[in-house]
Chain A
Amino acid sequence: MASVLSHTNFPDSVGLVTPQRSTFAQGLDLACGRRLPEFELVYECYGELNSDASNAVLICHALSGHHHAAGYHQEDDKKPGWWDDCIGPGKPIDTNHFYVVSLNNIGGCHGSTGPRSINPATGEVYGPDFPPLRARDWVTSQAMLADLLGISCWAAVIGGSLGGMQAMRWSLEYPQRVRHCIVIAAAMKLSAQNIAFNEIARQAIFSDPEFRQGQYLRDNVIPRQGLSIARMVGHITYLSDDAMADKFGRDLHSGSFAQGAEEQLEFQVESYLRHQGSVFSESFDANTYILMTRALDYFDLAREYGDDPVAAFSHATAAFLVISFSTDWRFSPGRSREIVAALIAARRPVSYAEIEADQGHDAFLLPIPRYCDVFTAYMNRVRSGD
């Protein structure tokens, strides 16, 4: 079951990993009322599942995340998985003790069934016809993966940002299958400002002539410009003002302010954002981006519990760790404190840490010492079986 092939060249890492793929022929009834007749999930597993399957941890990914959370696919990979700082031997989610499962959600564009997959009903790619998804659909499909892997109860379900929302949804949908729920840099629902930024991103994609009402794959084109702008807008919301000032300030990438210099100036921050947008537009699917941002916008933990988060969390039986970051303005510490207040009122065991960090929302991906200390301390509790 373990997909770790080699530790030798990657001492602080889970090493080389191979993604796995499973087909779920039974299909999935979605929250929108439609049905996925069958679907595939791509996932990676790190560490060893123990004999009573009590050490399994599920990683839920955020907006643009995927299954490759830790380790390397090839010896010469420049970068490890997206959460390698937190998953691996001796790291907060210690693979010497935990069996870690990380998947690409349905609707994604990294191998699991999504808008780029073939719709069995038509024989063509789903494209814009892929059904809209909610966080609960992801949770349901993740539970089916848990069944397949023989995991009846997760030691912990862990996620940052949109991943944290899935973790919270898990605690309500399958309370008996989650011992600990770790919610990092998340919120119980998006604010108007959050939705507004997502809408700018979607409109950027829609307005790209190459988008072609989402049928760009059929015409063999990509709405690069739209996706790129969408990513640029998103990226700003992941960073803090201070982080951008530190990283770029008003430094110039090209041109000069000297008298007589007519050449167009380019600030470092412009160049950086354009680069990020360009790289993203080559690797991410526009329909997936639209689907994911909408799932984010629609997420409201307490909607079906009379808009009462305390009533919602009363259905949970897990213990919670909530973490926020001081300069995160996308999902600020205040949003995490709302989660904590609801959990306290619902009499759930909960711990909360507010990490001083300059990096904004992105801090949850970074090896910030105090963050890692708190995370590690809590994971030791998870490990002790408490």
Chain B
Amino acid sequence: MRQDLTHIKQWIEPGTRVLDLGCGNGEFLLQLQNERQVVGMGLEIDHDNITTAIGSGLNIIEQDMDAGLSNFQDNSFDTVVMAHALQVVHYPDQILEEMLRIGRQAIVTFPNFGHWLCRWHLLIRGRMPVSKFMPHSWYDTPNIHFCTVRDFESLCEDKSIRILHRDMVAQSQRGHWAARLYPSLFAGTAIYHISH
């Protein structure tokens, strides 16, 4: 289980309704169902992931977030989760609005593009960062909307989105204290718990 996902769990009340946007093979939803008895539903577009998740007994809708989420009614879920997908959607700001229309609260995780290694790449090498964590070249990447921790918080301010909690995960266990202390520089993955 990815570390950002284990962090998310603490903000999800047992027995509530959870919508997971970009749920992958459903591993996280399955955990939430087993450990927190949530009523879960996942959105996914990858064919193999969909089959695996359906086979696990999950409720999975094949749907591209970029085509809109208007088929979901206002406040029809307690929590809408989107883990590591903010950077791949066409309109991240609109997705955030949609998440908070559909859910009472939302949880978003994304890779922090302000991480010192990214800055180092740009500053010293003058190249877009490529690492184990972000393995794609700039011209061939699903990640089309990278942002930093500060960018995200500024967007939340513009949209009057309340940040209930935030948590930061470093790229290694050792860097964890640094990620929490100086997230803008040391957070590999940023995790935000938000509401209106």
Contacts and interface: CB of A to CB of B under 8 A. Distances in A.
Task: Say whether A associates with B.
Answer: yes
Interface string B55-79: 1011111110000000111001000
Given A341-B71, A344-B71, A386 B57 contact: yes
Interface string A150-194: 000000000000000000000000000000000000000000000
Given A351-B59, A370-B47, A344 B76 contact: yes
A324 to B, nearest CB: 9
Interface in A340-356: 340-341, 344-345, 347, 349-354
Contacts of B71: 337, 340-341, 344
A349 B59 CA distance: 6
Interface in B29-69: 39, 41, 47, 50-52, 54-55, 57-63
Interface residues of B, number: 20
A350 B72 CA distance: 13
A374 interface: yes
Given A352-B63, A373-B51, A374-B50, A384 B57 contact: yes
B55 A377 contact: yes
Nearest to A341: B71
Contact of B54 (A344, A377, A384): A377
Interface in B71-94: 71-73, 76
Nearest to B54: A377
A372 to B, nearest CB: 10
Given A340-B61, A344-B61, A351 B54 contact: yes
Chain B facing A: main interface SS: mixed
Given A340-B71, A341-B71, A353 B55 contact: no
A352 B45 CA distance: 11
Contact of A352 (B47, B55, B62): B62
A321 B59 CA distance: 9
A369 B22 CA distance: 23
Interface residues of A, number: 23
A351 B62 CA distance: 8
Contact of A353 (B50, B52, B73): B50
Given A344-B71, A344-B72, A350 B51 contact: no
Contacts of B57: 381, 384, 386
Interface string A368-382: 001001100110110
B59 A381 contact: no
15 contacts: A319-B59, A337-B71, A344-B41, A344-B73, A345-B76, A351-B61, A352-B61, A352-B63, A374-B50, A374-B51, A377-B51, A377-B52, A378-B55, A381-B54, A386-B57
Given A351-B58, A352-B60, 13 more contacts: A321-B54, A344-B41, A344-B61, A344-B72, A344-B73, A345-B73, A347-B76, A353-B50, A370-B51, A374-B51, A377-B54, A378-B54, A381-B55
